[in-house]
Amino acid sequence: MLRPSAMSVGGLQGGLRGVGGGQMVSRSSFTSSSQRYGAGRNLGMSSFGGLAGGSFGGSGGRSASMSQSGMSGCVLIGNEKETMIKLNDRLCTYLQKVKEMEEANNKLELQLKQFHVGKALSGIDYAAYDAVIKPLREEILALHLGNARLALDLDNATLAAKDFTTKYENELCIKQSVECDIADLKALKEEYIMNYSILEGDIAAANEDLANLKKNHEEEMAELRKQVTGTVTVDVSAEASTDITKQLTEMRENYNALCKKNQSELDNWYKLQVETQTKQTVEVSEAAKASSLEIKELHRQLQSLEAEYNSLLSGNAFLEANIQNINDTYCGKLENLKMTVSRLEMELTNLRSELEQKVKDYGALLNIKMRLEAEIENYKKLLDGSAVCLSGSDSKETSGGTTATTIRTETRTVTSY
């Protein structure tokens, strides 16, 4: 804190010129008033009169004689010179600090420009992460495609298994219908066998009847012979009697022929029915064997498809577990990358806050610089104004009284930053 005291015009002029070109630190406004005092007035301002009337070699080589008041003014001028030297030293220090601040400001401006060009305008570079993420993404895509392919194969196998199941059900229905037909044919065969046994019984009964008829016929013929042999032969004129034996023989032959015909027809019908049923039974048995073989083949295919289906299910479960593990792994890596990105964003936020703080500091330094420049301009103006005031403040001696100059100095506080 510098507070320059009030000084006389002569002392201020001597101090300024004794420094030899130094600059003043305080701004002073001078108000001069001339008063003429009589002989009986107090001459306390005689020192100011002597200073105003004196001249110094530093002001252009002017010479004059000095009075008692002039001597006291010289002492005051010496103190003011020391004060001005100190002020000028401080001013040099301030100027040096201002120069250093300007260099620091220029350096900060350059750093801010570099930071804005290199950091603020450029986005976050994810190229390093893309080099790691790209193969992982391709691997995940390949796994998804493989999983989709396996799912498609699984669906195809499921549809094929359903088709085979449908075929199996159809063949099972055919088998059941064939088995029903076989059961019906077996029942029909049993019925035919029963009819055959009945017909055999009828044939046996007919043969017995035939044997009985033959026996009865022989007995009747024997009785008739006996009767014929015991009778008397009487010749009468009558028509020729019919030959009963011949008629019986013809009847027997006709009956035998009819029996043989019926038996042959029955045998032929039975053989035809047996052959037909045998052919049908053979065909049914062959169809049943073929159906059984086809059922066995379908059952074997079904077992192989079930084994393949189970293997595909286990492979799918294994792939799903691998995909889950890969997803967990990459989720962890992604979390790490997110944490890294968050950390980098936090660092970027800190850098921005530091940059804003530096900008604020730069603005404060710029304000200080502008204030110091304004102070220096004011000092220059004050120096120029003090020189003008001192040039017109030469005192003039008159016989009627003494002219005194009163100087009022306004001081301003200058704070060093």
pTM of the complete model? 0.29
* pLDDT tens digits in sequence order for the chain, 417 residues long: 333 333 333 333 333 333 333 333 333 333 333 333 333 333 333 333 333 333 333 333 333 333 444 444 444 455 777 888 888 888 888 888 888 988 988 888 888 887 776 554 455 666 777 788 888 889 899 998 989 899 898 889 889 888 888 988 888 888 898 888 898 888 888 888 898 888 888 888 888 888 888 888 888 888 888 877 755 454 545 455 556 778 778 888 888 888 888 888 888 888 888 888 788 888 877 887 887 788 888 888 888 888 888 888 888 888 888 888 888 888 888 888 889 888 898 989 998 888 899 899 888 888 988 988 888 888 888 887 755 555 554 444 434 343 333 333 333 433 333
Each domain of the chain, given as residue ranges in start order, spans 85-112+137-226+253-387
The residues that bridge with 414 in the sheet, in sequence order, are 2
CB atoms within 10 A of CB 410: 12
Contacts of 74 (CB under 8 A, 6+ apart): 66
